[in-house]
Structure 1
Amino acid sequence: MKQRPAVLVVDDEQKMCLSVKTMLENRGLDVEVATSGKTAMETIGQKEFDLFLLDIFIPDIDGFGLMERILAKRPEAPVVLMTGDASVDSAVHALKRGAHDYLRKPFEAEDLEKTINNALRQRKLLEKTRIMEDRLKVSEKRFRFMIQNSPDMIYTLDKRGNFTFVNEAATDLFGYHTTDLIGKHYRSILYEDDIARSRWRFNERRTGERATAGFELRLKPGPRIKATEGKKPAYAVVELNATGMYRRESARGPRVQVGTYGVARDTTYRKALETQLIQAKKMEAIGNLAGGLAHDFNNLLMGVQGVVSLMRLKMEPDNPFLKQVRTIEQYVQDGAGLTRQLLTLAKGGALEIKPTDVNELIRKQSRMFGRTRKEITIAEDLVPVVLPVLADSSQIEQVLLNLYVNAGHAMPEGGRIAIKTENIYLSHEHMLIGSTHLKPGRHVKITVSDTGIGMDEKTLERIFDPFFTTKQFGKGSGLGLYVAYGIIKNHGGFIQVVSKQRVGTTFTIYLPATERRTARVEKPSLQKILGRETILLVDDEEKVLTVCGDSMKLLGYTVYTADSGDKALGIFSKNAEAIDVVVLDMIMPGISGKETYRRLKQIDPQVRVLLASGYAMEGQAEEILKEGCAAFIQKPFKIEQLSLTIQEIMDTSCRIG
């Protein structure tokens, strides 16, 4: 049931109150009366009223005073004043003091009804307006909260392209406070190379499906941007969505453009992740191809090395061709070094991981390179006590050498190389330096800078690609930085590069530190070792079997050979007690080296197996070593290396026995 409007009539004349009450009740209103100001105030305290009809002349409180008290409690309530002594001045005075209307006694019922209805309509309109205003305030508050707490930069431009609003995200993301941008043209924050192509994008005029969506551009860092590792980023990559803002100047007038509304989402980190993912996939694909080629090439080198070793073993020390034979051996080792670099990237995994002092490696490589390029000054700024890192020292030396050589090529007439080491702690915030696999914690940071010719952006994008080189044909393989990238990645680190043409290039390397201490280990020198043991050589390459077998026989070994896993198992099952060591190739047709090893173990659980492969020590080889295999040797190897490794296996088994 609809509630009737409530009216309070206040007049010191009882008859007047009852007369007005009757008229209004006949028109469906809920009416209360009071004959004094005191009674009126008591009644107001007990009930809510929609309208007040007050006589001006009331003995205890006049109508004006009573109206002021009512409006103090209910400012939106309409008040109609009544008096028999009316004039224009008194009416104006009543309206100025807050009355909704003014009635002169005596008045007709129609005049009273008209005044009351008008006042009630006005009250309803005011209530609706207040409700709409409250809703608008809530909506505006909610909208402002959403805008200011959005993770994206939200902005509006006027039709000239000047900022009229920017939310707080602009400060956190790009370093621009509202005061830095309001009234400024949008071009002031665009990266210089993107200004031309961003016209009519950042200040979009179109709407609907034709408006700008997913447009990528770069913004310059603002004055309040936070520096990472002491450096401010060159730009931020954003994804832009923008649309034109229009309004009508009149109900039937045309729509007029008043500006642009846009949202800029920071995609810098996402782009870095996408770039790294593409780079990682590319490295993996090329690495797999390179690994297969390197394995086959190592087998060819093994054949050459075997023949050369056999020739050298048969030569007297004064043989005039001994020098040439050793030169061939050096060429084989150079070729093996190249394939070793490819293998490092093909499957990952450093070969001799141990706690390493990178300062020592830097000093060593600086001396070596400095002797070859005396026109280049090498300045070292090494932290006095550098944190140890778990690394293969030879591979880190390779990285340093590759960076030195790269710097040397950039400074053909001489220059300066500055190398610096720092102990740093990387937090989660520092992960934005661009790496997807660096973990928070202590790291060693190595910085190598040169004063060379620098690189443009297109060159920087391909700097770590295999076989990419800016040098003339025949002057470089294009593998140096590719190898450096793979080695650092395999060590759980990260390498990045910044460069500017005619200024120079800086490579920065991050390597995770370890709690383990560095230890000096003296490597045994290779020498001709005579043997008395019986060995079983297993390899599917006939040339490897022939030359290795003949060479080992010259050293005094008794040798069985097998060109497949099946033949090896047959020979071993008949001669298990006599065979001291099995030299087993990993990659063979038919029964693989892995399966052959496991079947040998079934025949003799104590069998000593030396794995030999053109691949690096990873994957299947690493798995077999964990199962108890004695040792691993990588092709191509010298016969002295093979003999020494066999002797170490025998010595170890004797100590254990």
Structure 2
Amino acid sequence: MINNKHKLTHLAKKFVIQKIGYPSIIISIILTSLLGYAEIKYWINISKQQNKIINQQINIFFNLTLKQLRKLEVFFESKSLNDLTTSQISLPSFADNLFILDKKYRPIYVYPEDHKIPYLNLIFDNFNKKVAYSRLYYSINLNKLAFAILDNARAKYSYLVEMDIDVFQKSIQKLVETQKKEILIVTDNYGNVIASSLPHLLDIQENINYLKFFKKLKKNKNIFYISIFNSSPYFIFGENFGHYQVIRLIKPINIVLPLIYILLITSLILISLNIYFGISINNFIYKTISKHVNRFSEILDSSLDNKFIVKNLNKLKSETKFKELDIVIRKLIYYLNKLNIFEETLKEKNQDLEFLLNNLPMWIWYLNDPTTFGIINKNLADFFGLNIHSYIYQKIPFERLSSQELTEATKRENKYLFEKGKTIKVKRWFTNKNGQKRLIAITKQPIFDEKGQVKQAICFGLDITENYLQEEKRKQLEEQLRRMQKMEAIGTLSSGIAHHFSNLLQAIYSYLNILKRSQNNIDKNIFEKIDEQIKKGKSLVQSLLAATHKTPEEFEIFELNKFIQQILDIIQSSYPKNIKIKSYIEQTKLYINGNQGLLEQAILNITNNAKDVLKTKTQAEINITIASETINKQNYIKIKISDNGPGIPSKHQNKVFEPFFTTKDIGKGTGLGLYLTYQIIKMHKGKINFITNNKGTTFIIYLPQSNPPTYPKTNNSYLPKPPFSATILTIEDEELILDGVKDFLEDKGLKVIGAKDGEQGLELFYKLQNKLDIVILDLGLPGIPGKEILTKITKYSSNIKIIVCSGYHHHEIAKNPQKFKVSAFLSKPYELEDLYKVILKILEVEQ
């Protein structure tokens, strides 16, 4: 018992020294440090707030001067600098000197004239080309500290304005002079003192470039350190505001002195507590606790569980009469019970965390190292078909998670993550246990230990497949919309070109008919060749409109054999000699109902593509085969166009008939050739496809076969003349067309009155309406549009017969003439005999 008493006395002294004495010293040091840090922090915060007021004062002055400069700019931007005189210039109150600079900051105007331009490199060094730029400097013109405003907002000039800052300097000086315990200095960017609480610095405008803290502040946004100034140590705090700096200096004694008082008081309190606790513990040991120590020790040394210890401690607590020991036992029982509760709670929390991880709609896993799992959640395990408990803290089964390529990439990523400690974000396609591919966005975040080394990594994976597919679909729709807009623009342009080109062809038609009726001995073959070229021009217009579905369906039944032979003649005479053209055309005459010009373009588009890929081949061939074929009791003409080129790459095969798709260089292909071919074949109710490999490409076209025409063509040379002289009003703005129509119809015995625009046409109609039999109206008129003239004529007289002629083939009147009370619609260019036939039909003359 005595031995235990001495041990407890020794432990008590050791307890007082280690648990109370040492901590008291440490607490004193920490408390003093914290208070010192708080005192310095408080001084810095107060300094920042006061600096903010100075900054606001300076910015207000800058902003006011910039607003006035804007007014000055408006004056000079509206004037010519060469024409300005000195009397016209009146500088605003804020400015002393004005310099107008070009965009390279060279002076082109100086006011007043005798002033020297400042050294711009000094004023505007590191100029960052913002809208407006201001800089404090020492002015050689004002011979004092000033600042310049350079405005770069306008495209023509920049403006450099110098102004005295006496008023500004005095307002800043008032703020500075309020400082009592510290030194405050405000300088420009070159070390010139603007304001200071030290009078000698202000009086001589001393340049402080030599001071160490100013040199540091020019390189940093702010500084704080201890240094010697005027032979005394100071805490120095400075802020760099770009164009000026604010430096504050305070002696350490002003901050440290309060801390010394606090440290003395704290030390006295802690010494008193040490003495009190030492005496109290010794008395308690000698008078009360020693006789129960052995039993208490036996209970605590027991190797049994917490519940047994709590049970025996309760017995000891009921037996003892000592309050202090009872409190200790109660505390010990309380903490033992808390420990039991904590263990149960921790178990529940682990269950909750496991539930949360396994039910989040994403992958979650830990990495203990680049190749070892920590834990994985249920979503990740289910995706790959893994047993979640078999892979916790086990090697990563790379072979089951991804392909060899993905495995290598994942290993490199994990190694980089643990070596560099940088977050990794990637998107990768993975195949799940059902064989479905899913796009997963993966984020791998390193976890660092106390030494800054990567200890573990937490990783997340989110399935973004649906978002990706929706984004891809959106991009496809946007691309389709862009193509539709391009086609619409081309359609509008094509329509306008077709109209004007049709007018030109119509004028040629008119004069060709005049030549045919003349008495000159001209070879008729020449007429036929010109007529053939005009028809080709008309087909070209229709081809141009075919790209946008704005072409009229002017079809005729013709012999395809002869038509193909003509195309072969063109190819053989124009293609390079290294390309052999071979053909097989069925002997039986084959007929088709179609447009020769459009079909010629469709076939040439295919052969031209073949020519381009074969031009460098030594033994190149293009084969064209024509034969009839019956499919589902329907007779078709099968056209095969083959070449022995390299074939179409697989990545391009699904884009062959798309508009604007081309593999040719810029300027060598439009990407519209095969697209137009597809549209033309579709317009003829046919089908087109292709077969391709590395030995060549074959395009196969099916066109519906027609029966031979059963009616003879009308002989235009024997068209009858009307039995009476009908009067026709022709409204046409193209003079060549008007003259040609007039001469032709008057030669047929008709009376023709011409009008060159809508206004003249309406005037003649109102004047001669009772004498007119027919009105021939062009839609594309200057001034009053043709459609408006048509509305006025039909509204005024419902019995008048109207023939509408236009190069706008897709016009709504062409589709339904009767709806607009029109007797006939003729698309330009038309043959004058066709116009005459329509007139005879309207006049009810048998042809």
TM-score (normalised: structure 1) = 0.53
Whether 2:483 is the aligned partner of 1:284: answer: no
Which residue in 1 is equivalent to 2:621? 414
Corresponding position of 1:57: none
Q: State the partner residue of 2:253.
A: none
User: Judging changes above 3 Å, is the alpha-carbon distance between structure 1 residues 544 and 393 closer, same or farther for their aligned structure 2 residues?
Assistant: closer
CA distance, structure 2, for counterparts of residue 448 and residue 212 of structure 1: 52
- SS for the counterpart of 1:248 is strand
CA contact (8 A) 2:817 2:825 kept: no
Structure 2: distance between partners of 1:289 and 1:167: 61
Q: How much has 1:543 moved relative to structure 2? A: 0.8
What SS does the corresponding residue of 1:414 show, helix, strand or coil?
Answer: strand
CA distance in 2, matches of 1:550, 1:338: 28
1:328 and 2:533 are equivalent in the alignment: no
Q: Is the 8 A contact 1:581 1:609 kept in 2?
A: yes
| Gap change, CA 1:469 and 1:329, over 3 Å in 2 | farther
Partner of 2:807: 614
Q: Displacement, 1:398?
A: 5.7
What's the offset of the Cα at 1:642? 1.6
The Cα of 1:253 is off from its aligned counterpart by 3.9
Between the aligned partners of 2:504 and 2:336, the Cα distance in structure 1 is: 107
Q: Give the counterpart of 2:315 among 101, 105, 109.
A: 109
Aligned twin of 1:303:
507
Partner deviation per Cα, 1:167-204 (whole Å, 9 max, x = no partner)? 9999xxxxxxx999823245699xxxxx9xxxx99999
**Does structure 2 conserve the Cα–Cα contact (< 8 Å) formed by 1:448 and 1:507?**
yes
Tell me by how many angstroms 1:352 deviates. Answer: 2.9
For the pair 1:538 / 2:728, whether they are aligned, the reply is no
Cα pair distance change 1:202/1:488, threshold 3 Å:
farther
Distance, in Å, in 2 between the alignment partners of 1:296 and 1:508 is 36
Equivalent residue, structure 2, for 1:643: 836
Matches of 1:260 and 1:612, distance apart in 2: 72
One-letter code aligned to 2:769: A
1:246 aligns with 2:445: yes
Decide which of 453, 473, 476 is 1:272's aligned counterpart.
Answer: 476
SS of match in other structure, 1:275? helix
1:251–1:212 distance in 2 versus 1, CA, 3 Å: closer
Where does residue 570 of structure 1 map in the other structure? 763
Amino acid at match of 2:453: P
Q: Decide whether the 8 Å contact of 1:538 with 1:562 is kept in 2.
A: yes
Q: 2:540: which partner in 1? A: 338
Q: Is the contact between residue 306 and residue 336 of structure 2 (CA under 8 Å) also seen in structure 1?
A: no
- Change over 3 Å in CA distance of 1:132–1:224 after alignment to 2: closer
Offset at residue 507 of structure 1 (A) = 7.6
Deviation at 1:621, TM superposition (A): 5.5
Residue aligned with 2:499, SS: helix
Match of 1:549 in 2: 742
Shift of residue 278, structure 1, vs aligned partner? 2.6
Residue 137 (structure 1) shift: 1.8
1:137 maps to which of 332, 355, 358: 355
Cα deviation per residue 1:466-505 (whole Å; 9 max; x = unaligned)? 89896999x99986446446668999999999988x5556
Q: What corresponds to 2:401 in structure 1?
A: 182
**Offset from partner CA, 1:379-436 (integer Å, 9 cap, x none):** 99xxxxxxxxxx986687467435543454355732567999999xxxxxxxxxxxxx
Tell me, what secondary structure is at the counterpart of 2:403? Answer: coil
Q: Distance in 1 between matches of 2:798 and 2:691?
A: 56
Comparing 570-579 and 476-485, the one that deviates more: 476-485
**In the alignment, is residue 589 of structure 1 matched against residue 813 of structure 2?**
no
1:351 to 544, 547, 552: 552
The residue aligned with 1:405 is 607
Question: Structure 2: which amino acid aligns with 1:556?
Answer: G
**Alignment partner of 1:302: what SS?**
helix
Distance 1:286 1:142, change over 3 A: same
The more displaced of 542-551 and 259-268 is: 259-268
Which 5+ residue runs of structure 2 have no aligned equivalent? 1-301, 319-329, 385-396, 573-579, 587-592, 632-638
In structure 2, the CA distance between the partners of 1:290 and 1:351, relative to structure 1 (3 Å rule), is: closer
Task: Give me the whole-angstrom Cα distance separating, in 1, the residues matched to 2:432 and 2:697.
Answer: 25
Q: Between the two proteins, what is the percent identity of the paired residues?
A: 23
Alignment CA distance shift 1:241-1:211 (3 Å)? farther
Distance apart, 1:324 and its partner CA: 0.6
Letter in 1 for 2:768: N
How far apart are 1:596 and its partner, in Å? 0.5
Is the CA contact (8 Å cut-off) linking 1:365 and 1:400 kept in structure 2?
Answer: no
Structure 1 residues 106 and 341: alpha-carbon distance in aligned structure 2, compared to 1, 3 A threshold: closer
Cα 1:584–1:246 change in 2 (3 A) is same
Matches of 2:658 and 2:401, distance apart in 1: 42
Amino acid at match of 2:361: F
Distance, in Å, in 1 between the alignment partners of 2:352 and 2:647 is 62
Deviation, structure 1 residue 331: 1.5
Q: What is the rounded CA distance, in whole Å, between the counterparts of 1:242 and 1:492 in structure 2?
A: 49
| Structure 2 SS opposite 1:561 | strand
Structure-2 change in CA distance of 1:204 and 1:250 (3 Å)? closer
Cα distance change, pair 418–334 in 1 and its aligned pair in 2 (3 A) = closer
- Please tell me whether the aligned partners of residues 298 and 636 of structure 1 are also in contact (alpha carbons under 8 angstroms): yes
Contact 1:396 1:487 in 2 (8 A): yes
Query: C-alpha offsets along residues 255-289 of structure 1, whole Å, 9 cap, x if unaligned?
Result: 37788968562454334333333323233333333
Partners of 1:539 and 1:243 in 2: CA distance: 72
Q: Whole-Å Cα distance in 2 between the matches of residues 499 and 204 of structure 1?
A: 47
TM superposition shift of 1:135: 5.3
Shift in Å, 1:545: 0.4
Question: What SS does the aligned partner of 1:615 have?
Answer: coil
C-alpha deviation, 1:594, in angstroms: 0.6
Retained in 1: the 8 A contact 2:692–2:698? yes
Rate the CA distance shift 1:559–1:269 in 2: closer, same or farther, 3 A. Answer: same
Q: CA deviation at 1:125?
A: 3.9
CA distance in 1, matches of 2:604, 2:334: 96
CA–CA distance in structure 2, aligned partners of residues 279 and 584 of structure 1: 36
- Which sits farther off after the overlay, 459-468 or 568-577? 459-468
Q: State how 1:223-242 maps to structure 2 within 5 Å.
A: none
Find the residue that maps to 2:361 and give its secondary structure.
helix
Unaligned runs of 5+ in 1: 1-90, 149-155, 171-177, 190-194, 227-235, 381-390, 424-445, 512-517
Cα deviation 1:311-339 (Å, max 9, x = unaligned): 213469xx552211221121122222212
Specify the code of the residue in structure 2 equivalent to 1:567: Q
**Alpha-carbon distance between aligned partners in 1 of 2:662 and 2:695, rounded to the nearest angstrom:** 22
The structure that has the greater radius of gyration is: 2
Which deviations, in whole Å up to 9, do the C-alpha atoms of 1:276-309 show, x marking residues without a partner? 3332323333333333233222212211111001
Tell me the distance in 2 between the aligned counterparts of 1:203 and 1:285. 55
- Taking structure 1 as reference, are residues 476 and 625 closer, same or farther at Cα in structure 2, changes over 3 Å only? farther
Instruction: Give the direction of change, closer, same or farther, for the CA distance of 1:183–1:344 in structure 2 (3 Å limit).
Output: closer
Aligned residues of 1:159 and 1:259 also touching (Cα < 8 A)? no
For 1:270 and 1:508, how far apart are their aligned partners in 2?
A: 34
Could you state the TM-score of these two structures normalised by the residue count of structure 2?
A: 0.43
- Between Structure 1 and Structure 2, which shows a larger proportion of helix residues? 2
Which protein has greater RCO, CA pairs closer than 8 Å, 6+ apart?
1
